[in-house]
Amino acid sequence: MTKPKDIKQSFFTKDKSFYKTYFSMMVIVALQNLVAYSVNMADNIMLGSYSQNALSGAATVNQIFFMVQQFALSIGNALVVLASQYWGQKRISPIRTLTGIALKLGFLCSAAIIALCALFPEPLLRIFTGSPEIMAEGKEYLSLIQ
């Protein structure tokens, strides 16, 4: 199929409402990440001045919560993939159903990991470190942030 020469294809859209929505969402996500990384940096600065083991324990616990974030991200990405197919078909009802399923699944995964952290902190920390001193500091830090 040949395209007429007078129609230009562009990667960018000229729809201003799209860019308004896109940049407002982008600012919100950027601010969310800024807050999360600022809190993490403040933890590192405070704990670094306290002791090396405390900083290592907090970093170990942060690895657990990094895994939680990865689970949440994978659930969200799966939702986007499935929902985009329905969006293309202009079927909104299944998108609402999928969103509910994704929210419930995310909540269940988060609750399960928090329960594991509360009930079995040492085996979880042992996955990431073998040092008893770091595990003790990580266990204390974990009890504070739950």
Residue 132 lies in a domain: yes
Lowest mean pLDDT among 10-14, 19-23, 30-34, 132-136: 10-14
Q: Taking the CB of residue 46, how many other CB atoms lie within 10 A of it?
A: 12
- The whole-number pLDDT of residue 7 equals 62
**What would the mean pLDDT of 133-143 be, rounded to a whole number?**
90
**Prediction pTM value:** 0.67
Task: Express each pLDDT in 78-123 by its tens digit.
Answer: 999 999 999 889 999 999 999 999 999 989 988 998 899 999 999 9
Mean residue pLDDT of the chain comes to 87
- The whole-number pLDDT of residue 11 equals 67
- The whole-number pLDDT of residue 48 equals 78
State yes or no: pLDDT of 1 exceeds 60: no
Q: Higher pLDDT residue, 26 or 65?
A: 26
Residue 56 lies in a domain: no
Residue 34 lies in a domain: no
Residue 81 lies in a domain: yes
For the chain, what is the domain count?
1
Task: Express each pLDDT in 37-60 by its tens digit.
Answer: 898 788 778 877 888 888 889 889
Residue 36 lies in a domain: no
The residue type at 87: W
- The whole-number pLDDT of residue 131 equals 92
Residue 87 lies in a domain: yes
63 with 144: CB under 8 angstroms? no
Residue 138 lies in a domain: yes
Entry field: residues in the chain: 146
Residue 5 lies in a domain: no
Domain span at 97: 65-146
